[in-house]
Amino acid sequence: MDRYAVIGNPIAHSKSPPIHGLFARQTGEQLQYEALLAPLDDFAGTLRDFLQEGRGVNVTVPFKEQAWALVDSRTPAAERAGAVNTIQRLDDGSLLGDNTDGKGLVRDIQHNAGLPLAGKRILLIGAGGAARGVIQPLLEAGPAQLCVVNRTVEKAEQLAMLFKDQGPISAAGFDWLEESVDLIINATSASLDGQLPPLPPSLIRPGHTWCYDMMYASEATVFNRWADEQGAARCIDGLGMLVEQAAEAFFLWRGVRPDTAPVLASLRQRG
């Protein structure tokens, strides 16, 4: 049976094994999917050992940049993202790296939540790996403006420079923010520590602005609670993005696109 795995550190609480298990059952694909803990100083060894037999791997925190450097070829999405979250072992034994995070985010917002991104003014908070991985697909969706805001402004400016030929992108520090936008995407790790980035309430036009936190938890994140208090039209967490990026990986590996709606519903039910 074809074997796949998610590799990270920590990995015990990863939802990828149940997600891919549900995809496999739904599509009738015969595969085995496991979670592998890699030592922080030996991701390469864990990857190499697994892919002697395994057909593909998902990569999570903190190894996505290392995965980018280790693969033999990359899709355009992975190339610019500077990070790889999906690896496929090709028939000649070489490793192809993809990054499906951005496609997953855009699909969750446009298809699942029903917000078309074309013509929208979007604020992307954060300039770490997650933010970098979603910029290209966001720009491809045709927003009027994508502004990257980060605590360390230089990192936001670097991203704006890197993607400036791909669409209308700019950079800012938190102090410069004032005008309301159509969509705020939180790609910082602040929610993990229960912290809120210093966002002025004026960013949210009550009943109009949508808010998306890439983090997910059984209860609303601190960012989504704040957004709700300011009257945001809709607050969404990152569970849908997680399921959609997994579906993109499944499609790359198996050539079959799973129906994500029942899988997302099942995960929400489990809490």
Known binding-site positions for shikimate: 14-16, 60, 85, 101, 216, 245
Identity of the residue, 153 or 233, whose beta carbon is nearer to ligand NDP in the bound complex = 153
Identity of the residue, 96 or 135, whose beta carbon is nearer to ligand NDP in the bound complex = 135
CB of 38 to ligand NDP, least distance (A): 16
Identity of the residue, 221 or 230, whose beta carbon is nearer to ligand NDP in the bound complex = 221
Footprint (CB under 6 A) of ligand NDP, residues 154-213? 155, 187-192, 195, 197
Identity of the residue, 49 or 229, whose beta carbon is nearer to ligand NDP in the bound complex = 229
CB of 121 to ligand NDP, least distance (A): 20
Q: Is 152 near ligand NDP (CB under 6 A)?
A: yes
- Rounded CA gap, 222 and 219, in Å? 9
Q: Which residues are annotated as a binding site for NADP(+)?
A: 126-130, 150-155, 214, 238
- Residue from 6, 235, 241, 263 that binds ligand NDP (CB under 6 A)? 241
Nearest CA to 85 out of 62, 105, 53, 111 is that of 62
Identity of the residue, 151 or 208, whose beta carbon is nearer to ligand NDP in the bound complex = 151
How many residues of this chain interact with ligand NDP, rule: CB under 6 A?
A: 27
126: left (phi over 0), alpha (psi -120 to 50) or beta: left
Footprint (CB under 6 A) of ligand NDP, residues 46-85? 61
Q: Which two tokens stand for residue 263?
A: 């899988």
Would you tell me how many other CB atoms lie within 10 Å of the CB of residue 248?
Answer: 22
Q: Is 17 near ligand NDP (CB under 6 A)?
A: no
Q: Which helix (H) or strand (E) holds 155?
A: helix 153-162
- Rounded CA gap, 174 and 154, in Å? 12
> In this chain, which residue has its C-beta nearest to ligand NDP?
128
Nearest CA to 137 out of 97, 80, 85, 59 is that of 80
Per-residue x/- track, 94-123, ligand NDP (CB under 6 A): -------x----------------------
Q: Is 221 near ligand NDP (CB under 6 A)?
A: no
To the query of whether residue 103 is one of the catalytic residues in this protein, the response is no
Q: What is the DSSP string of 70-105?
A: HSSEE-HHHHHHT--SEEEE-TTS-EEEE--HHHHH
Count Cα neighbours of 193 within 13 Å in the Cβ-side half-sphere: 6
Q: Is 242 near ligand NDP (CB under 6 A)?
A: yes
Q: Do 149 and 175 form a contact (C-beta atoms < 8 A)? A: no
Of the residues 64, 103, 120, 164, only one is catalytic, namely 64
Q: Do 55 and 88 form a contact (C-beta atoms < 8 A)? A: yes
In this structure, the strands spanning 183-186 and 121-125 are parallel
- Per CB under 6 A, residues contacting ligand NDP are 61, 101, 126-131, 150-152, 155, 187-192, 195, 197, 214-216, 238, 241-242, 245
- The residues assigned a catalytic role are 64
